[in-house]
Amino acid sequence: MKRLPLLFILFIALSAHDLFIKLDTYFLKPNQKAQLYLFNGTFETTENEISRDRMQHVQLVGPAGKQVPEEAQWTDRNKATYLSFKTGVAGTYVAGVSVKPGTIALSADEFNEYLKHDGVLDVLASREKQKQLTQPSRELYAKHVKAIFQVGDELSEHYKDVLGYPVEFVPQQNPYALHEGDELEVQLLENGKPLANHYVYAGFSEAAKHSHAHQEAEHHHDEVQQKTDKKGMVSIKLEHEGQWYLRCIRMVESKSDTLDYESNWATLTFEVR
């Protein structure tokens, strides 16, 4: 078995960060003070905060309309970024955050391992086919994350609101009308249109508690891989109670002279009881 150098493993662990919106519980009461937080790392471990100047298109959408949080509502603690807010009337809500693009330059080995680690298998296969596995890469990346949470007992239709991100997941049923053992259909959109034949990964955590410990970044062991159909759909069997996520990375070759690839990352989180 080929062993990777320790510093190389640490590089992959620190660079391949998914971003998630999380809550300790996704079931809240009407007019309750609450917090959501951003995890940048894995679904269970965060490695760093998200600075305010990188956030854009932050919104909370529910039965009373859209709220745009003020900067003073955000705080950083233990490598996570927290948003304090107050819920409104009963219903199903969606929260969204988009993070401005950044760039990263990687050696050929680093980039190939990152593609394998994070499941960007179409790009990895393309590099192999075009004999580009020895070429380094410069990538422009951006992250767009959503969470669906339930306030009170009354369900509403906001779970399927499209927030207009470059890539986003849109459930086709209300997750809070479903239970363990049911199936949830989710559509993946790119610029508002179905994204077909694309890798999507889903996983869950039974524990509501979260960790800020520095650990090697690995996705949850229960993560499953699917590909979207021609309508951009995947069907996720909710086999366990707990907090669930979907994630994907949409990466394409760049037309810029200074970049090799451009990527948009998307995640969606919710809870099953």
The region, left, alpha or beta by phi > 0 then psi within -120 to 50, assigned to residue 230 is alpha
Asked if 205 and 43 touch (Cβ cutoff 8 Å), the reply is: yes
Asked if 265 and 18 touch (Cβ cutoff 8 Å), the reply is: yes
Per-residue CA distances from 257 to 100, 253, 260, 264 (Å): 20, 11, 8, 19
The encoded tokens of residue 166 equal 């470059």
- Residue 207 is predicted with a pLDDT of 57
Distance CA 98, CA 141 (A): 12
The region, left, alpha or beta by phi > 0 then psi within -120 to 50, assigned to residue 124 is alpha
Q: What is the pLDDT along the chain (273 residues), one digit of tens a residue?
A: 334 343 433 444 444 589 999 999 999 999 999 999 999 999 999 999 999 999 999 999 999 999 999 999 999 999 999 999 999 999 999 999 999 999 999 999 999 999 999 999 999 999 999 999 999 999 999 999 999 999 999 999 999 999 999 999 999 999 999 999 999 999 999 999 999 999 999 999 985 444 444 333 334 446 999 999 999 999 999 999 999 999 999 999 999 999 999 999 999 999 999
Distance CA 192, CA 167 (A): 8
Distance CA 205, CA 222 (A): 8
- Residue 216 is predicted with a pLDDT of 39
Distance CA 44, CA 215 (A): 10
Q: Find the farthest-apart pair of alpha carbons in the chain and give their distance in angstroms, rounded.
A: 57
Asked if 148 and 269 touch (Cβ cutoff 8 Å), the reply is: yes
Cβ count near 109 (within 10 Å):
16
Per-residue CA distances from 93 to 51, 135, 148, 191 (Å): 24, 44, 6, 22
Cα dihedral 40, 156, 66, 22 in deg (nearest 10) = -10
Half-sphere exposure of 92 (CA within 13 A, CB side): 18
